[in-house]
Amino acid sequence: MRTTRSNRLLVQAAFAMGIVSALPGCGGGAGSSGGGDDTGTLSASLTDAAIDEVVAVNLRVLGLRLRMQGAGEDAWVDVDLRHDDGSALEVNLLDYQNGETFTLFEDERVPAGLYEHARLVLEAPAQTPIQCRGQDPMEGSHVEEIGGGLVPVFVPSAAEAGVRLVSPFRVPLNGSAEVIIDFDLRQSLFVPAAFTGECYFVRPAFRVEAIENTGRIAGEVDVALLDGSNGLCSDDDPATGNSVYVYRGADAIPGDINGDENATTAAPYATAAVEFDPLAGNSGEGSYMVSFLPADDYTVAFTCRGDEERLPNDDSQNDDERLAVDSLDFQLPQNASVVAQQTSVVTFTADDANEG
């Protein structure tokens, strides 16, 4: 039931799971619709938030699965993203940051309505964490580390359920919708202590947003906050370890990705690395951008210890745990309001830190 790349929409109960179709199948489904009855068009792209510790994160994508509101657990609309020869679509997520996007597909015809679940299906030969050990990185999704080493990626249930994305969006009747899938590798990519040097894991915690409803937060960060001179940083290199965390709602208390048991701090909604190039003649400032945020109120905070967020927890007995840093020393939390299709500017300066 393989479609061509020009008509690759598959409407069936399950993708690569062999379940009997609960929606119209090949030959009679939305993929063969002439554009009239109860359908609209959908386009989808990928983007990412930068991380410092790796050179490339190459994901092999098989398809995008969608489920409409009110549909049964087995009723899915599937877009097959494989090439005509059956090979997966490969993308290095680190090539698409700061608002840059990678187009997965454009103007695919799907049933109109409100979609409440989306799952990105990745090629993942290893079905268990143990199988990831010793796996040839080039057989599936993989990470290129600083220094050139290639390490395989393990995605729990990727070959069946895929990476889950929970954020509703609507495809209008006889209209069009465009969505963005935001990976934010700082929150999703990690190495359990027991697998250090052998395998990366991808935590299924990503966002999907209707692009027309999103804006962005961007700004500059004073070099005096980046270089360790304030005693709050993980190192004295202004080009590493510096991150901006964004939290949903005003006046949130900034917390790390792992959160804490008492839930006294907020978990980040999105993150961004601070870019600093000392050779660019940029007057001693770093810059950041957090794109594709839904219109809302947010709290924005800076840390120069962002690299410590992703260290493995050597004391953990659970492969899904990472080091929970007691405090990333978040600095200068500020409120910001995001308006669709606009940029909200939030700057972090040493003078403000000294005054605080």
DSSP sequence for 105-135: EEEEEEE-EEEEEEEEEE----SSHHHHTT-
Q: Model-level pTM? A: 0.78
Whether 181 shows a pLDDT value over 60: the answer reads yes
- pLDDT band of residue 258 (cuts 50, 70, 90) is low
DSSP line for 158-196: TTTT-EEE---EEE-TTSEEEEEEE--HHHHEE--GGGT
The full DSSP string for 49-81 is ---SSEEEEEEEEEEEEEEETT--TT-EEEEE-
Query: In which residue ranges of the chain is CATH 2.60.40 found?
Result: 215-355
Nearest to 248 by CA among 267, 262, 229: 267
| pLDDT value for 10 | 37
CATH number of 215-355: 2.60.40
Q: How far apart are CA 26 and CA 9, in angstroms?
A: 9
- Residue for token pair 């699965």: 65
1: confidence class by pLDDT, cuts 50, 70, 90: very low
Tokens 């995001």 correspond to 338
What is the average per-residue pLDDT within 238-266? 83
